Amino acid sequence: MTTVLIADDQPLQRFGFRMLLESQDDLTVLGEATNGSEAVRMSAELHPDVVLMDIRMPGMDGIEATRRIVATGDRTRVLILTTFDLDEYAHAGLRAGASGFLIKDAQPEELLSGIRAVATGDAVVAPSLTRRLLDAYAHHLPTGSTPEDTTPDPRLTALTEREREILTVIGKGWTNTEIAARLHLAESTVKTHVGRILAKTGSRDRIQAVILAYDTKLVEPS
């Protein structure tokens, strides 16, 4: 059973989400928060698998709430809801540790599959959208090392040459199927490599691995 906390300041929106989630045998709603502060407090108390987090809420917004929830190191993952697919806050949400994004008016099936994917550690943002989002907000990315600074990033030093190659193409938006086909690997092998990359680099999920690829300059914004 996947447990969900709904964080949204709109009563009708919360009601709609609850009705949808409770119609599923494998999903249960643990509670509802009306602002970021409540979401942080209730996450600490209830330990939901997923927080369905609105960005724009009074007081503490969804970005800061996401940052605080992720910082606890708990197993809870955050799925952020945005009004537009390139919401101005979306990049900040990624860097705060969100495991994915969905548009607020997403189809019910998309919302449900997104929650289930996040609960199992998958990313729910399509790789192409992840790349487009990061490119659009590349100016928010850290400048990284200077030409004189040749110290390897410690997050990459444990990776094998093949794992570094796969991390690079993850950052370019390739799916596991595309990686398998283009690098002539079995898809099961690719999944194993991806799992090791996440573990070695301390990335919570695939989206965080994409950010790592950008941060360490394995991938340059287009």
* Per-residue model confidence (pLDDT) at position 208: 82
Looking at residue 76, its pLDDT comes to: 93
Q: What is the DSSP letter of 140?
A: G
Contact 187, 177 (CB under 8 A): yes
β 100-103/77-82 pair status: parallel
**Digit-coded pLDDT (tens) for 197-211:** 999 998 877 878 888
Higher pLDDT among residues 5 and 145, named by residue: 5
pLDDT at 214: 82
The predicted structure's pLDDT at residue 138 = 55
Tell me the pLDDT band of 193, cut-offs 50, 70 and 90: very high
- Measured at the CA of 26, the angle between CA 66 and CA 32, to 5 degrees, comes to 40
Confidence (pLDDT) at 34: 95
| Better-predicted residue by pLDDT, 215 or 140 | 215
pLDDT bracket for residue 146 (50, 70, 90): very low
Residue 15 pLDDT greater than 60, yes or no: yes
Q: What is the pLDDT of residues 37-52, one digit of tens each?
A: 999 999 999 999 999 9
Percent of the chain with pLDDT over 70: 83
- Per-residue pLDDT of 171-183, as tens digits, reads 887 888 889 999 9
Mean pLDDT (the chain, rounded): 84
Report pTM.
0.71
Q: What is the mean pLDDT of residues 80-84?
A: 76
Give the Cα separation of 68 and 15 in Å (integer).
25
Look at residue 64 and tell me whether its pLDDT is greater than 50.
Answer: yes
Identify the CA nearest to 40 among candidates 13, 18, 70: 70
What is the predicted pLDDT for the residue at 98?
A: 87
Q: Which of 35-39, 86-90, 127-131 has the lowest mean pLDDT?
A: 127-131
- 204: nearest Cα among 94, 125, 110: 94
